[in-house]
Amino acid sequence: KKKYKIAVLPGDGIGPEIIKEAYKIISVIKKKKYINLQTKEYDVGGIAIDKYNIALPEHTLIGCQNSDAILFGSVGGPKWNHLKLEKKPEISSLLSLRKFFNLFINLRPVKLHKKLLHFSPLKTNIIKKGFDILFIRELTGGIYFGVPKGRNELDPNNICAFDTAIYNTYEITRIAQFAFQQARKRKKKLVSIDKSNVLESSKLWREVVTKISYTFPEVQIEHLYVDNAAMQLIQNPSQFDVILCPNLFGDILTDESASLIGSLGMLPSASLNQKNFGLYEPAGGSAPDLKGKNLANPIAQILSLAMLFKYSLGFLDISEAIEHAVITVLKQGHHTYDISDKINFISTDMMGTKISENLMKIL
């Protein structure tokens, strides 16, 4: 029987707490579906710095290489904020993993179910039937990785710091092709985000995306400046289907969009390479304000696991069942702190239990 191996990297802050809830889902799947799933846990991030003085220890990287997918919690926090940029957990573990495995595709599905409109801060007459937006964010290029990057302290009275926003044809082409393929499977509407009225890298981005669009005549393409897109998302999110973004703009617009569905704690993400290998993590971070309080929302982590089953393991049925279980529990009126009225809410732990109990019934 085929063995499926998942490397689990809980990390820092609320990471371990929400990963615990994902384990409940995995154990239901093991019970109900006779697939050979193996999970193995590895240290990553600040906790690995504390233990081994390095955020991405070699044994963790090897463990990931020997797995079919990575389930990632979150890294970083106040304890490690004083470190030099390249030593910080966010850069030296998460960005390193993205680069190492060439995870240039980042998928962030922002879905608001029509029966859960009350989760959104937007007026119901704006969202009407909810929305279903697939963000595709370029993840291994742009200003995050561009060189040179650094500081010049020659004049201590006027220090200068710089980053380089850079894209090449190859990087834009491969993410654009992926985005058009996804749009073709959906409502055939693709919006590409840039700031081509000001930035050279964005000008090239728009040129390349336009060129690729000619090879997908069935997909309608539109280009939006990022500032306008940020506004349109709040004004009328239902107009969007697939949104393609450069790295930094995608980071910002997806956090904004998470708030449109209720909370950053509900937005999952999948970071993939061309071979369907992937790292699956909540779009949000280690939420130091919630750490250790049993208040974090585990849904982003659980839905990231659902994406893992879909994109890396190829079990669409399991993926859909997990999503269904989440929606059912929300429709039943169970809320974690973030999506509650702050008076009536259930704990991280209870939310995980409810979703897994529901999954037990439907799988």
* Chain residues in the site for Mn ion (CB under 5 A): 251
Coil/strand/helix, residue 153: coil
Assess whether 144 carries a catalytic annotation: yes
Assess whether 255 carries a catalytic annotation: yes
Report residue 99 as tokens: 């680069």
Whole-number minimum distance, CB 174 to ligand NAD, in Å? 23
For ligand NAD, the binding residues in 299-338 under the rule CB under 6 A are 300, 338
Whole-number minimum distance, CB 106 to ligand IPM, in Å? 8
**How far, CA to CA in Å, does 220 sit from each of 14, 30, 194?**
40, 42, 17
Catalytic residue among 132, 163, 251, 349: 251
Assess whether 341 carries a catalytic annotation: no
Contact between 267 and ligand IPM (CB under 6 A)? no
Report residue 46 as tokens: 């600040």
CB nearer to ligand NAD: pick between 22 and 212: 22
285 is in an annotated binding site: yes
Strand partners, 220: 189
Sign of CA dihedral 104, 250, 314, 285: positive
73 is in an annotated binding site: no
Whole-number minimum distance, CB 64 to Mn ion, in Å? 21
CB nearer to Mn ion: pick between 72 and 216: 72
292 is in an annotated binding site: yes
Contact between 90 and ligand IPM (CB under 6 A)? yes
Assess whether 203 carries a catalytic annotation: no
For ligand IPM, the binding residues in 93-152 under the rule CB under 6 A are 94-95
Binds ligand IPM by CB under 6 A, chosen from 132, 163, 251, 256: 251
Contacts (Cβ under 8 Å, ≥6 apart) of 317: none
Binding residues for ligand IPM, total number by CB under 6 A: 6
Contact predicate 286/11, CB 8 Å: yes
Look at the block and give the residue holding tokens 């980053």.
Answer: 163
Binds 300, which of Mn ion, ligand IPM, ligand NAD, none (CB < 5 to 8 A, cut-off by type)? Answer: ligand NAD
Catalytic residue among 128, 170, 227, 331: 227
Classify residue 240 as exposed, middle or buried by CB count within 10 Å of its CB (0-12, 13-18, 19+). buried
Q: Which is nearest to 334 in space by CA: 302, 299, 361?
A: 299
Report residue 170 as tokens: 């190859």
CB nearer to ligand IPM: pick between 191 and 283: 283
Look at the block and give the residue holding tokens 């929400």.
Answer: 18
Contact between 290 and ligand NAD (CB under 6 A)? yes
For ligand NAD, the binding residues in 258-287 under the rule CB under 6 A are 263-265, 281-282, 284-287
3-class DSSP string for 293-315: CCCCCCHHHHHHHHHHHHHCCCC
Catalytic residue among 23, 144, 280, 311: 144
Element holding 268 (H helix, E strand): strand 268-272
The DSSP string of 171-224 is: HHHHHHHHHHHHHHHTTSEEEEEE-TTT-HHHHHHHHHHHHHHTT-TTSEEEEE
Report residue 19 as tokens: 């990963």
90 is in an annotated binding site: yes
CB nearer to ligand IPM: pick between 255 and 320: 255
CB nearer to ligand IPM: pick between 94 and 299: 94
Assess whether 43 carries a catalytic annotation: no
Whole-number minimum distance, CB 280 to ligand IPM, in Å? 12
Cite the annotated binding site for substrate by residue number: 98, 108, 137, 227
The residues annotated as belonging to the active site are 144, 195, 227, 251, 255
Cite the annotated binding site by residue number: 77-90, 98, 108, 137, 227, 251, 255, 285-297
